[in-house]
Amino acid sequence: MAMMVRKQVYLKKSQALRLKRQARLRGISEAELIREAIERQVVAPARPTNSWSKERAYIQALIEQGPVAGKRTWTRDELYAERLNRYARHPH
């Protein structure tokens, strides 16, 4: 077994109850459950993805393309009216 270091922590009563219940359900000690949680959250946290930079680059590329050729031939009100008519004819 690895060398252990004793730590004292303060928990809310509700946390202590949940910890005790979860440890009992899993058949492990409360200390082991705490060590697992630390391992997941502190020692090996999830690495943030770089997805926002990809999204930003995609949006910037669209902006740089400029306006789309042609103009729309509809208005928001027309679309809304068409949708209302469609649902009035085909109730769900």
How distant, in Å, are the alpha carbons of 17, 44, 60, 66, 83 from that of 34? 13, 14, 45, 54, 54
Percentage of the chain beyond pLDDT 90 is: 40
Q: How far apart are CA 53 and CA 29, in angstroms?
A: 42
Boundaries of every domain in the chain: 13-43
Give the pLDDT score at 47: 66
Residue 1 has pLDDT above 70, yes or no: no
Give the pLDDT score at 44: 67
Q: Which two tokens stand for residue 21?
A: 């219940």
C-beta of residue 20 within 8 angstroms of C-beta of residue 32: no
Q: How confident is the model at residue 29 (pLDDT cuts 50, 70, 90)?
A: very high
Tens of pLDDT along 32-76?
A: 999 999 988 887 666 666 678 888 888 899 888 887 788 778 888
